[in-house]
Structure 1
Amino acid sequence: MRLDFDPEATGSGRFYRLLTAVVLPRPIAWVSTVSAEGVDNLAPHSFFTVACVDPPIVQFTSVGRKDTLANVEATGEFVVNLATEPNFAQVNATGTDFPPATSEFDAAGIPREPSLKVKPPRVATSPAALECVLHSTLRLGDSTVVFGRVVHAAVAAEVVRDGLPSVELLRPLSRLGRDEWGTVGGVREIRRIRHADWPGHYRG
C-alpha cells in the first residue's frame, strides 16, 4: 500500500517537508558571501549540485530571499565551502536567521582565510572550497537557483589520495528529512559496464 500526496491538497509547507524527507541525502553548499556593505555572510544551502562540467558550474537554490542571494546578486561572487562532520555544530549555527549586519563567521566563531580569486573569504577549517563568480540566476516560484562558474578550487593536501579528495578523509555532511543530518557510513565501489562488455543479462 502507498500513501498518496497531492501538492495542492497537501499545502506547500507540508509538501516541502515531504520532499526533503524523500530527496536525500542532499549535499550541503556552505556558502560564504560578502554584502555590498562589506559584511561577511555564511549559510548552509542543501539544494546543491554540479550543473555543468565545461565550463565548471555549480548551483544552489535559495528558498526565499536570503542574505546569501542578496549578496551574490550585489557582488557577483561566492564560495562554496564543504560542510564536514567536524564542523557540524557550526554549519547548523550558520543557519540561524541573523540580521544582515551580523556576520555568521563572527557570531559562530568560525575562522576565515582569504580566497585566491574572489572577495568572499573561505572557511579556514573546511578542507575544500570552490571559489565562484555568478553565471546566472533562475527564479522558480518562491525560490532562486544560483549558478556559479568555478574559477578556483582549494583542497587541503591531507585529504587528497591518488590525486583526488578522499570521501573518507573529507567526512562530508548531508541533509536528510526533519532535523536529521547524514554522515558517510559504508562506501561501496562499482565500475560502470561498457556496452561492449554487456553480458546480455544482468542480475546485479
Structure 2
Amino acid sequence: MFYETATNDHGLKFNPFKAIVAPRPIGWISTLDADGKPNLAPYSFFNAVSDAPPMVMFSSSGYKDTVSNVEATGEFVCNLVSFALRDAMNASSAPLPHGESEFERAGLEMAACKLVKAPRVAAAPAALECKVLQVIRPSDLDGTPTNSWIVLGQVVAVHIDDACLKDGRLDMTGVQHLSRLGYMDYAAVTEVFELARPKA
C-alpha cells in the first residue's frame, strides 16, 4: 500500500505511522510547576539525541503542564519505565486537573534529585536529571506552527539502582525496559543479543 500523509487516506482502521516508528522508549517526565507542585507524565515521542554531552528530547502533542513546567523552571527528570512499573506509568497518563498529583494517582513515591529540584520516581530503575536547552514549536512545510512542542535537555546527573547493574552494565532483561509500539501496544525487553560492528 501507499498513501500521502497530507490526506492520510491509508484506508486502515488505525493510523499506522506510530506503529511504523517503533519501538519507542518512554520518557516518563517528572517536573515541578512554578509553585513547586509535582507533575509526572509519560511521553512516547522520546529519545536520546547525543552522548557527548548526553542529551535527550521529548515531544508533547499540545501545550501541556509538562511543557509549561519546563519553561517555568528550566528542569525535568526522565525516569526509566520498567515492566514492573507499567500500570503506574499508564495511571500517570490520565488527564488530571492542573495541580492534582500524578504521583499520588499512580501510588508512586517521589525521591529527591541532586542537581535539579524536580523529583524523580523512587521505584524507577534509573533516572536522568536534565536541564532544559531548548523548547521548540516546529512549523510544518507550509510554515504553519504545529500543535507540538519539542523539549531538548542536557543530562546533568544519572541515578541507577545498583540492583539493576550486572557485570558493569544495566541489566536490560532484568529491568525489562518498556517501550511503546503504537496503538495501545507496548513491549518489554526480554531478550538481548550482541552484534559486533564491522571493522574498516
Please give the TM-score of this superposition, normalised by the length of structure 2: 0.91
Q: Residue 49 of structure 1: CA displacement?
A: 1.0
Question: Identity of aligned pairs, percent?
Answer: 39
In structure 1, what residue type is equivalent to 2:25?
A: P
Number of equivalenced pairs: 191
The residue aligned with 2:197 is 192
The structure with the greater share of residues assigned to helix is 1
The residue aligned with 2:29 is 31
Partners in 2 of 1:5 and 1:110 — Cα distance? 43
The residue aligned with 1:8 is 6
The residue aligned with 2:143 is none
1:85-144 Cα deviation digits (max 9, x unpaired): 000101011111111110100122111111111111110110100000101122122211
Q: Which runs of 4+ in 1 moved over 6 A?
A: none
Q: Within 5 Å, which residues of 2 pair with 1:40-119? A: 40-119=38-117
Partners in 1 of 2:38 and 2:112 — Cα distance? 12
Q: Residue 48 of structure 1: CA displacement?
A: 0.9
Determine if contact 1:129/1:154 at 8 Å carries over to the other structure. yes
SS of match in other structure, 2:31: strand
Q: Paired residue for 2:173, among 168, 178, 184?
A: 168
RMSD after superposition: 1.6
Partners in 1 of 2:117 and 2:198 — Cα distance? 43
Determine if contact 2:173/2:191 at 8 Å carries over to the other structure. no
Q: Residue 38 of structure 1: CA displacement?
A: 1.6
Q: Residue 171 of structure 1: CA displacement?
A: 1.2
Unaligned runs of 5+ residues in structure 1 are 196-204
Q: Paired residue for 1:179, among 184, 189, 192?
A: 184
Partners in 2 of 1:113 and 1:185 — Cα distance? 27
1:27-52 Cα deviation digits (max 9, x unpaired): 00100000112210000001111112
Q: Residue 191 of structure 1: CA displacement?
A: 0.6
Determine if contact 1:32/1:122 at 8 Å carries over to the other structure. yes
The residue aligned with 2:141 is none
Partners in 2 of 1:17 and 1:88 — Cα distance? 24
Determine if contact 1:28/1:46 at 8 Å carries over to the other structure. yes
Q: Residue 21 of structure 1: CA displacement?
A: 1.3
The residue aligned with 1:154 is 159
The residue aligned with 2:150 is 145
Partners in 2 of 1:135 and 1:30 — Cα distance? 18
Largest Rg, 1 or 2: 1
Please give the TM-score of this superposition, normalised by the length of structure 1: 0.89
In structure 2, what residue type is equivalent to 1:40?
A: P
Q: Residue 162 of structure 1: CA displacement?
A: 2.6
